[in-house]
């Protein structure tokens, strides 16, 4: 795994004057400032090179990504060896995924979806959104603490068995890194790099999600990004072989989506 390098822009003789006065900023203030950038995103289209690294193996290829907020995500992959899906659609209620090599169309409840089955890396749906956009919301807790290190605000909040930390740019209020730490070990790290402004919205061109204990990492390098342009409904329609086998993925006893949703 590549080492994480944090850059500091102050030298020893001036660091004191460059350090912000934290007494003038609360975790809630920081949360609100970060949310301003996130709230500008209504829709997203992108093309990216995706690299997935796993113990003893790796794969890479190109993907097309379409997102409409609040909840619809469409991911189309091309020639990513080792990845079982050619396309994945999901929203808050249901998902559809097509595995072309198997010629199987999976569909069912998003709550039952295990993305590892398709992407070979452990991510939940919120983490998938963050891996595709690089935009991270900053929750606050009554015990959240705020500090300043390596030229960034560092917001920390307790979680079960550990803490979650966010590194935030003090000028643009962008989350550039986050870590989930459990029992003293980093179990997940997210890094966002090369932010570019489009229509007043700052988006990273490189997004890296790492699970160091599992030695897993997914890196997304964007070659193009378009925001807040109406996306035609056809973009979210999966294309699959008509003779594909349909497999329902969910609660067979009490399904929350129509079993005949996919014809």
Let me know: does 217 contact 208? Beta carbons within 8 Å.
yes
Encode pLDDT of 179-237 as tens digits.
Answer: 999 999 999 999 999 999 988 899 999 999 999 999 999 999 999 999 999 888 888 88
Lowest mean pLDDT: which of 46-60, 80-94, 106-120, 238-252? 80-94
In the chain, which ranges are continuous DSSP H helix?
15-18, 27-38, 116-119, 125-133
Encode pLDDT of 69-114 as tens digits.
Answer: 877 888 887 655 455 678 888 888 888 888 888 888 888 888 888 8
Under DSSP, the state recorded for 4 is: P
Between CA 194 and CA 142 the distance in angstroms is 32
Evaluate whether residue 99 is within a structural domain: no
CATH code for the domain in which residue 65 is found: 2.50.20.10
pLDDT, greater one: 19 or 113: 113
Let me know: does 113 contact 249? Beta carbons within 8 Å.
yes
Lowest mean pLDDT: which of 18-27, 169-178, 202-211? 18-27
Evaluate whether residue 1 is within a structural domain: no
Let me know: does 93 contact 109? Beta carbons within 8 Å.
yes
Whether the per-residue pLDDT at 61 is higher than 50: the answer is yes
Q: Roughly how many angstroms between the first and final C-alpha of the chain, as a whole number? A: 44
Evaluate whether residue 244 is within a structural domain: no
Q: Which of 229, 219, 251 is nearest to 94 (CA)?
A: 251
What 3-state class would DSSP assign to 30?
Answer: helix
Evaluate whether residue 19 is within a structural domain: no
The domain in which residue 172 lies consists of 26-83+120-231
Between CA 98 and CA 112 the distance in angstroms is 16
Evaluate whether residue 49 is within a structural domain: yes
The pLDDT value recorded for residue 260 is: 45
Do strands 175-182 and 72-78 pair parallel, antiparallel, or not at all (unpaired)?
unpaired
Q: Which of 129, 160, 141 is nearest to 31 (CA)?
A: 141
Between CA 31 and CA 124 the distance in angstroms is 22
Under DSSP, the state recorded for 134 is: -
Evaluate whether residue 108 is within a structural domain: no
Evaluate whether residue 106 is within a structural domain: no
Evaluate whether residue 98 is within a structural domain: no
Between CA 218 and CA 244 the distance in angstroms is 29
Question: For the chain, how many structural domains are there in total?
Answer: 1
Let me know: does 107 contact 126? Beta carbons within 8 Å.
no
């Amino acid at each position: 795994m590549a080492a994480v390098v944090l850059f500091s822009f102050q030298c020893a003789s001036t660091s004191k004057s460059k350090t912000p006065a934290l007494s003038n900023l609360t975790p809630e203030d920081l949360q609100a400032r970060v949310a301003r950038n996130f709230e500008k995103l209504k829709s997203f289209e992108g093309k990216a090179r995706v690299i997935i690294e796993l113990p003893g193996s790796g794969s890479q290829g190109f993907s097309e990504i379409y997102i409409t907020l609040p909840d619809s995500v469409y991911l189309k992959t091309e020639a990513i060896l080792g990845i079982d899906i050619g396309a994945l659609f999901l929203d808050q209620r249901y998902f559809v995924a097509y595995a072309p090599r198997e010629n199987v169309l999976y569909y069912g409840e998003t709550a039952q979806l295990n993305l590892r089955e398709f992407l070979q890396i452990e991510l939940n749906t919120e983490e998938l959104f963050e891996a595709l956009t690089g935009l991270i919301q900053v929750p606050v807790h009554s015990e959240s603490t705020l500090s300043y290190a390596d030229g960034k605000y560092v917001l920390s909040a307790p979680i079960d068995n550990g803490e979650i930390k966010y590194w935030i740019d003090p000028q643009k209020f962008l989350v550039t890194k986050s870590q989930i730490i459990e029992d003293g070990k980093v179990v997940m790290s997210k890094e966002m790099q090369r932010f570019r402004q489009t229509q007043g919205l700052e988006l990273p061109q490189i997004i890296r999600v790492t699970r160091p204990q599992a030695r897993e990492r997914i890196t997304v390098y964007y070659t193009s990004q378009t925001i807040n342009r109406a996306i035609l409904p056809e973009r979210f329609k999966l294309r699959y072989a008509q003779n594909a086998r349909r497999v329902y993925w969910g609660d067979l006893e009490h399904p929350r989506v129509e079993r005949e949703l996919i014809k």
